[in-house]
Structures are given as C-alpha cells and as structure tokens.
Amino acid sequence: MEGFLNRYRNITVLLLVLFGQLVLLAYQVRNEQDVPMIRVWTVTAVTPVARVLEGARGGSLGFVRNYILLHNADAENRQLREENGRLKLENTFLKNELSRADRAKALQMFQAQTESKMLAATVIATGTGSSTSKVVYVDRGSSAGVMRGMAVVTPDGIVGKVIAAYPTASEVLLVTDPDFAAGVVSQKNQARGTLKGEGRPLCRVDYIPGDVRVEAGEWFYTSGDDRVFPRGFQVGVVKSVKPGQPFQEILVEPSGIQRGVDDVLILINGVHQEIPDAPAANQPVYIAPNPPPAAAPGGQQQTDAAPGAGGAPQGTDADRLRQVYKSVGDAQHYTFGDGGVGGRPADFKNLPGTPQPSSGGAPPGRGAQAPAGAPPAQGAQPPAAQNPAQPQGTQPPASPGPVAAPRTQTPGAENAAPAPRKQALGTEGSAPAPRKQASDAEGATPSVRKQASGAEGAAAVVRTQASGLETAAPAVRKQASGSESVSPALRKQASGAEGAAPAVRKQAAGAESVAPALSKQASRAGGAGTAAPKQPPAAGRAPEDVRKSNQAAGDRGGPSNR
C-alpha cells in the first residue's frame, strides 16, 4: 500500500485536491451557500495590499495631476492674458472703426449738404516743432488736387488750412496754431473779427470793438473775408468775453477740432453759404438712444407718456405705434388681453395722432425733427430757424452776388495783399479813434518809413507779384479789374480809393510808382500817429493778421459766391 502511494503520489494528491474542490463546489451549488471563510481569507490578504497600492497610486497620480494642472494653469493663465490683451486691442480697434464709420458718415452727410466741393482726407501725422505748433499732415496731396491755401474743415467746424501741398500729402496748419488767423463773424450781431490761434485749445477773436455785443455761448462763423474759408462755416463757440477798449477779449473754443482731428475735408472749391440763425448742430450723425430699460415688451413705461402729450414718445416706431393703440384702448376702457376668443376688440378706426413711421429707420436727416432730448441732427430744422433763415443743410445755395457789407468797421475784404498794400490800407480807416489803434499806428509808422526808404525790397516783392501771375493772388487781380465776386469794399478800393487800391494798381502797373506812394503814405501815417494819437489808423489792422496768415498759406483763388 505504501509503495503504491509512493508510486502514484502525485496523481493521488491531484485527485485528492480535485476531489476536495469538487466537493466544495458541489456543496456550494447544492446548498446555494457560499464558503465565506476562504473568501474572507483571500479578501483580507488582497485588499490591504490593494489599499496600499491605491493610496500610493492616488498620491502619486494626484501629485502628478496637480503638477500638470498647475502647469496647465500657468500656461492657461498666460494664454488668457494674451487673449485678454488681444481682445482689448480688438475692442479698441473696433471702437475706432465704429467711431471712424460715424465720422465718415458725418463727413458724407456734410459733403452732401454743402455746396463747396470737398475732398476727404485723413490725418496721418503731426508736424514737429514747438509745443505750441499745431500742424498735421493729411494723406491727400497735390496729386489729388490739393493746393496750398485750401481750407480744411470738418462738419463740426473749420480745422485749418493747407500750408504746403506735396504730391502725396499736405501740411495743414490747425486753427490753434499761433500763426493761424481767419476772418470770422459772430452769429447774432454779425460782429467781424479775426480768429487767431494761441497754441492752446482756445483761440482768440481780435478786433471786435467794445461796443459790439458778443455773448458767451454765441457761435462764430467764417466771414469769408480771408478768401480761404468760405463764409458760413462754423468756427467755434464763445467761451468767455471780457470787455475792453478798444477791443474785447474774446476766447472761442474751436469746434472743428474738439473731437480730435482724424478725418477732414479739404475745400477744393469753396462756396459761400449763409450763416444760420439757429445754434449750430454738434452732432451731424444722429444716433438714436437706447430704449429705456423698463420698456420691455409688455412693460408699462411706454404707456405712461401718451403721444402728443408734451414730450415726444421715445423708442422705435413700433413703440410709438403701440402707444397710440394703447391710448385708444384706454380711451375706450378696453383692456388688452382680457377679451376672450371671439370677443369684441376696441375700435381702431380712427387712430388719433398716429405717427408716421420713418422709412427704413434711418436717422433723422435734413429737415427732420429730432426726438426730444436727443441732440439735433446735422441739418435738422429747429422750430426757431424755420423762418426766415434756414439752418445749415436746409439752406438753398446762396444767391450769387456780392457779399453783404459788414456791419462793423472791421475790414475783412482785403485778402492776401502784399505787405506794402497792407500798410497803405492801414492808414485808410475811418473808424473812431481807438487808442490802441493809435498806438499801433505809431508802431507801424517806423516800419512804413523803413519800407518807404528801402523801397527796393518792397518794389521787388510787388514787382514779382505783379509780373508773376502764377504767384500773385487772384484777389489782387480781381481787385484791379473790378471783379464782381469781391466785396464792395474791395471794389471800392479797386475803383479809385485814395488808399490801397491805387497803390495796388500802381504796383501792378509798375513797381516804380510804389516807392513814392509808400513814402507819401508813410508821411501821412507819421502825421496821423504823432499829431493825433487817438486817430483811427487801422481798420485794416484786423485783416493784417489774416493777410499774414494767408501769405503763409499761399495765394489761391478764394471761395466763390453762389
């Protein structure tokens, strides 16, 4: 037996093990009972190790994951920062584009309303120089038809004038530059003066006598006397007026550059236009305000203000139409929404004051009535401006003919005259004798004498102007020939006044006659300055600055009257 077991020990053990497991299996299957002891042993042996493994795995994995997350957070932070910067740039770009689109629309509307032929340009650079120098460059040059001396405006007002035209760009002297000067006229009393830049945001209007009333808040327009800016363009609003003798100290905020100078219009062919009686419109492009927050569909705010009950209804045309129907329902004691199916609706046959929906939802344009509380659109007709004068934009082209004579004594018709004529005109004034003018005359007299004594230099200048028609001002030629387009004062001067016009004609005819005339004028001015200090010397002082500025800007044919 023992030998048998030894010989078949392996198979015996196998059979025993198999038999034991079969019994175990049969027991479980038959009794449908488990043998928990073996499972407990196994689970007890396995799960602690599994727990340790899971802890190690979770810890290491968590560390790795946190590290990766932190790494990703840093990368994500950088990415978000870059995206934020990019979005800020994009936002700024889009805002600029939107603003640019508004300005372009304003320019387009302004061009459509204005008779003058204009050329749109964009400011591309600023000029160098001192801190008070205000010069910019625009992207249109002589190849686009821009010439030296042309006016530069925006719908808000004048901007400056071209002082140099290059093939691809032009240099524009802004109104705030100390060298800038332009003839202006007040809106209410037609007080004529000279706008001068001072190198700061506000400009000064000189040569308005103290007895002429100018109020703060009043608008100044171009007078058209300087032959650069056509008459009727906005200049600015009066910020302060200080009475003085002989001239008031008036500071004007130029309206053309208050919102920045970006897109401008260059007047290729300026046309005079009427100075409106109504206040200037500040916003050429009307942007409808957002509806009030409570004016949601079904809200009651829109129904509070009945149409035609004082204030104009705000919101869209649909809102106004809804108000009309709501008022009809209220008048008939009809509550919307209460009637069942088949119920009798309110009677809408006669709708009172139904507003006419505007076509296409376009902003109010020329002559359109602006909503209450909203800034008037460019060309919108205010009630006070309907008769007799019409606001800008609704005004038909001005009738051709000479410009009305100025009400004040400020001579504004002399434009772009050479220096000798300027001196001649300086002695010609007939205004009351302000002391300042007298003192100015005294100061001017030595310079006149100097010019008279050294007539060669002046004669050369005059000779050049007289002989070279390309460089001489058309205004001078027109004055000499008695053109119809110049002001009466010019024609008077040209026809035979003792002052400037003969001198000009003589200068045109021959430079030799200039020197005696100048010496004669010098002696006359010297006598006036010494014998009568209060003698009015210089009604021509005001345009003197204009002429200086124009001389800097170059001579060019002035705007025409229509």
Partner 1 sequence: MSYSDGRILLASEREGQVSRFRAWVMLLVPLAAILFQVYVPLFFQFLGFLEMPLLVVLYFALMRRSQISGLLVGAAVGLAQDSLSKNPLGMFGIVNTLVGYFAASIGLRLDVDHPFIRLLLSFFFYLFHQGMYWVLARALLGQHLGIEWQKLLMLGALNAVVGIALFHFLDRLRQPA
CB of 5 to partner 1, least distance (A): 12
Subset of residues 190 to 249 that bind partner 1, contact rule: CB under 8 A: none
**Cα gap 13→225, rounded to integer Å:** 131
- Give residue 480's Cα distance to chain centre: 40
Choice between 42 and 66, CB closer to partner 1:
42
CA distance 317 to 313: 9
Smallest distance from partner 1 to CB 28, Å: 4
Return the residues of window 5-64 that contact partner 1 according to CB under 8 A: 9-10, 13-14, 17-18, 21-22, 24-26, 28-29, 34-35, 38-39, 41-43, 45-46, 49-50, 53-54, 57
Give phi and psi for 553, each to the nearest 5. -80, -15
DSSP letter (8 states) at residue 511? G
Residue 34 or 90 with smaller CB distance to partner 1: 34
Q: How far is the CB of 3 from partner 1 (least distance, A)?
A: 18
Minimum distance from residue 46 beta carbon to partner 1 (Å): 6
Query: Among residues 25 and 101, whose Cβ is nearest to partner 1?
Result: 25
Give the residue with the Cβ less far from partner 1, 25 or 75.
25
Nearer to partner 1, 4 or 333 (CB): 4
Q: Angle at CA 436, nearest 5°, toward 418 and 453?
A: 40
Helix axes 435-453, 455-467, angle to 10 degrees: 90
Q: In the complex with partner 1, which residue's Cβ is closer, 45 or 341? A: 45
- Closer residue to partner 1 in complex, CB, 23/75: 23
Cα 191 from Cα 416, distance rounded (Å): 21
Q: Minimum distance between the CB of residue 7 and partner 1, rounded to whole angstroms?
A: 13
Q: In Å, what is the CA distance from 326 to each residue of 120, 298, 301, 331? A: 48, 11, 12, 9
Q: Is 4 in the site for partner 1 (CB under 8 A)?
A: no
Gap between the Cα atoms of 142 and 131, Å rounded? 28
Query: Least CB distance from residue 38 to partner 1, whole Å?
Result: 5
Report H helices in 180-316: 301-304
Size of the site for partner 1 (CB under 8 A): 27
Residue type, 326: K
CB 60, min distance to partner 1, A:
13
328, 348 Cβ separation under 8 angstroms:
yes
Find, among 426, 368, 356, the residue nearest to 393 by Cα: 368
Residue whose CB is less far from partner 1, 41 or 336? 41
Closest approach, Cβ 58 to partner 1, in A, equals 11
Write down the least CB distance from residue 2 to partner 1, Å: 17
| DSSP per residue, 74-137 | HHHHHHHHHHHHHHHHHHHHHHHHHHHHHHHHHHHHHHHH-SSEEEEEEEEEE--S-TT--EEE
CB atoms within 10 A of CB 296: 11
Q: Which of residues 256-285 bind partner 1 (CB under 8 A)?
A: none
Residue 21 vs 143, nearer CB to partner 1: 21
Question: How far is Cα 117 from Cα 271, in angstroms, rounded to an integer?
Answer: 8
Instruction: Enumerate binding residues for partner 1 (CB under 8 A).
Output: 9-10, 13-14, 17-18, 21-22, 24-26, 28-29, 34-35, 38-39, 41-43, 45-46, 49-50, 53-54, 57
